[in-house]
Structure 1
């Protein structure tokens, strides 16, 4: 028997409608998750035709406020960045909760801590591993981009598995072209998500970033939270910061967007944390989905 459930569409990493990265959030709070076929959730994600669609459920982890399942048009993900922020924003609106500073999200990767401050949401990375990659994989990914890389690519496993590298500067990053067909083959061959390329603005703690995941059905992600997390982890690996470091990321200009991401690498009591945040705005409210 079909039922209707509430639905929102949230623009993430922007305060200006239609300039960030949209995510669809289907509120399944009042449904028994075990009664919903995965194929149904996947079909909805295909139909919305967004990079990600999420489904909000009651948590099974008593320490968490809600549970989210995240789908691309091709598959379910353990974790993704902009859907995490967008889902938290939607959850706060759906639930009517106000004046909260911390929210804990349950997802396939584990419990994700989110902070709410000054109308901005941020999440703390749960998985932030880096892996050196073979020279063959480095060469294969290098052939996918027209701009020369100025740092050695490294694989950052943050949920998605991103190959990350830097180019000379922000303009080089913005202007470069990609061989999407080749990158699709390389990513599929090695089981990686795709590639994050960034270039620093001169005399500024700001980076232009682009995210490519054609093998996952996302040729270029307009504004990518997990990619920003991978970049933060990569910068720590390359630059070896011994104290906390904050920087900004702009993304999406090539796609007509103006995404703005806040990133922080924190050093505290021998532990390093990686935090990614920005603003969200609901652009579709009071919708309903048949499920």
Structure 2
């Protein structure tokens, strides 16, 4: 039996139309999750051909407002950043809920807290793991970039597994010309989602960031939320901040986007928490038949 459900396409981490990272969001809040086959969800994600397509379902955890399932054109993900922000915006519109401060998303990594601050939606980063990578891996990644890192890269598992490294400055990051074929083979070999590179703007609490995931079918992600989270965690590992630190991330210029991400590293009661946020604009409203 064919059903027709609401559908949106949301541009994320931007206040300018067509300058962020789009996510397709399908509203299954009134549909039993068990009635929709995994293969159907994967087919829809393959058809939209965006980096991610998400599906809103009723939460099975009573502490959460909704359940989110996140798909690339090839597979399901336990968590991703820009789909979380965009799907929160879609949920607010689908549900008709007014001014709320907090929402809770159920997904593959557990419960993700969302904070709505005016037009900006922040997600609290899930628990993550940081690990060193070998000197051989580092040399191989530098070979793909034809450039050296200014600090030793690390592997950050935030759901997706990102290798994160710093370049000398923002310009050297922006000017990189990666060998995507070699990078695809390398990330596949080492079991990483992709590579995050960033460079700091002189005199500013701001970084230029690029996210490469050719092994996942995305040569360069225009604005990457999970990558921004991985960068924040990497900077904390490098600098051992003893107090809260806020900074901005610019992404997407090389692929004709203008993404803006806010990142907060917060120290509370001896714990470090990470918040990644940005604006989201709904550009497409419609229906999809399943």
Tell me if TM exceeds 0.5. Answer: yes
Correspondence for 1:243: 243
CA distance in 2, matches of 1:57, 1:177: 40
**Equivalent-residue separation in structure 1 for 2:60 and 2:108 (angstroms):** 11
Is residue 273 of structure 2 the alignment partner of residue 269 of structure 1? no
* CA distances 1:229-259 after superposition (whole Å, capped 9, x unpaired): 0000000000111000000000000011000
* Displaced runs of 4 or more, over 2 A: none
Structure 1 3/47 Cα, relative in aligned 2: closer, same or farther at 3 Å? same
Does the 8 A contact of 1:8 with 1:25 survive in 2?
yes
For 1:120, the equivalent position in structure 2 comes to 120
Matches within 5 A, 1:210-225: 210-225=210-225
Distance 1:221 1:67 in 2: 24
Q: CA deviation at 1:127?
A: 2.3
In 2, are the aligned partners of 1:205 and 1:247 still within 8 Å (CA)? yes
- Taking structure 2 as the reference length, what is the TM-score of the superposition? 0.99
Structure 1 residue 102 corresponds to structure 2 residue 102: yes
Residue in 1 that maps onto 2:45: 45
Distance in 1 (CA, whole Å) between partners of 2:116 and 2:14 is: 15
DSSP 3-state at the match of 2:238: helix
By how many angstroms is 1:141 displaced? 1.7
Report the aligned-residue RMSD: 0.7
Are 1:78 and 2:112 counterparts? no
- What is the CA–CA distance in structure 2 between the aligned matches of 1:146 and 1:169, rounded to whole Å? 15
Q: Does residue 284 of structure 2 align to residue 289 of structure 1?
A: no
Structure-1 residue corresponding to 2:150: 150
Q: Aligned partners of 2:279, 2:103: CA distance in 1, in Å?
A: 16
1:29 CA displacement? 1.0
Map Cα deviations across residues 63-120 of structure 1 (whole Å, 9 max, x no partner). Answer: 0000000000111000000000000000000000011100000001100000001211
**Any conservation in 2 of the 1:10–1:282 contact (CA below 8 Å)?**
yes
CA contact (8 A) 1:127 1:159 kept: no
**Pairs aligned (count):** 290
Name the structure 1 match of 2:11: 11
Distance in 1 (alpha carbons) for counterparts of 2:146 and 2:280: 33
Q: Is the 1:85–1:123 Cα contact (8 Å) retained in structure 2? A: yes
Alignment of 1:163-202 (within 5 A): 163-202=163-202
Structure 2 unmatched runs, 5+: none
Partner of 1:161: 161
Secondary structure at the counterpart of residue 60 of structure 1: coil
CA distance in 1, matches of 2:183, 2:47: 25
Structure 1, unaligned stretches of length 5 or more? none
Distance 2:58 2:91 in 1: 11
| Kept in 2: contact 1:152–1:165 (CA 8 A) | yes
Distance in 1, Cα, partners of 2:134 & 2:169: 25
Deviation at 1:133, TM superposition (A): 1.1
DSSP 3-state at the match of 2:172: helix
Contact 1:45–1:71 (CA<8 Å) still a contact in 2?
Answer: yes
Using the alignment, how far apart are the partners of 1:2 and 1:263 within structure 2?
A: 42
Alignment correspondent of 2:93 = 93
1:14-68 deviation per Cα after TM superposition (whole angstroms, max 9, x unaligned): 1111000000000011111111111111111111010000000000110000000
In 2, Cα distance between equivalents of 1:200 and 1:147:
16
Residue 229 of structure 2: SS of its match in structure 1? helix
